[in-house]
Structure 1
């Protein structure tokens, strides 16, 4: 049920993009109880003039390799599960494709279960 949007600066290789998608999905499977094959991930790449961020907000030193991950999901996870997701995603993406933890920005958008339709014009979770 999560819908993932990954935003980053243009110029990464197909292998790096695949590693980002795979790491995010694996972290969700391991920490958020996301079922197998529940994989809906969009990657948006931006030119430098369309990707604006503060390099030092909250004293975190970000680089132009910043990756913003926004996950729309059901509002059923605990704070502990969310913290585990953030940690695990940072670990996995540091391992492959080598993303520095400082360059990972994660945002969750939580919604009620009835706000999803996976096809056929019905709300499967309602």
Structure 2
């Protein structure tokens, strides 16, 4: 049940490529985190250059470009460190291969929150009300 937010610099990615980026992220979530196919909730937000800041080389031996993507994945806890490491690697490789984005431009942040903190609509907390099993 991840929710994905992707932020990028306006004009750095074309609409056609945003669709490919979205599909690539979703497929990686399915492959690496066993996310159900219909569990597909993403939003893209573009920013003007004067609103988008980053260091070109922090933690890298090379440089980021203006095609930098900030990818926030909010999801329930429970994945092992090994699964997370595979996810980071697979997503970076897939976005590079399928979308032409250099791996230095893929900044991923996993944000874990308990299932009880989610409402999927209708004013219900489905995990608290028996609609979604809460993992222990």
Structure 1 length as normaliser, TM-score? 0.96
1:110 alignment partner in structure 2: 112
Structure 1 alignment gaps of length 5 or more: none
Q: How far apart, in 2, do the equivalents of 1:93 and 1:3 lie?
A: 18
Root-mean-square deviation (CA, aligned residues, Å) is 1.0
* Structure 2 residue 78 is matched with structure 1 residue 82: no
Q: How far apart, in 1, do the equivalents of 2:3 and 2:88 lie?
A: 16
Structure 2 alignment gaps of length 5 or more: 129-136
Post-superposition, which runs of at least 4 consecutive aligned residues in structure 1 deviate over 4 A? Answer: none
What pairs up with 1:19-98 in 2 under 5 angstroms? 19-60=20-61, 61-98=63-100
Decide which structure has the larger Cα Rg and report it. 2
Deviations 1:8-54 (A, max 9, x none): 11112111100111111111000011011100000001111000011
Structure 2 length as normaliser, TM-score? 0.89
Q: How far apart, in 1, do the equivalents of 2:60 and 2:85 lie?
A: 20
2:126 alignment partner in structure 1: 124
Number of aligned pairs? 126
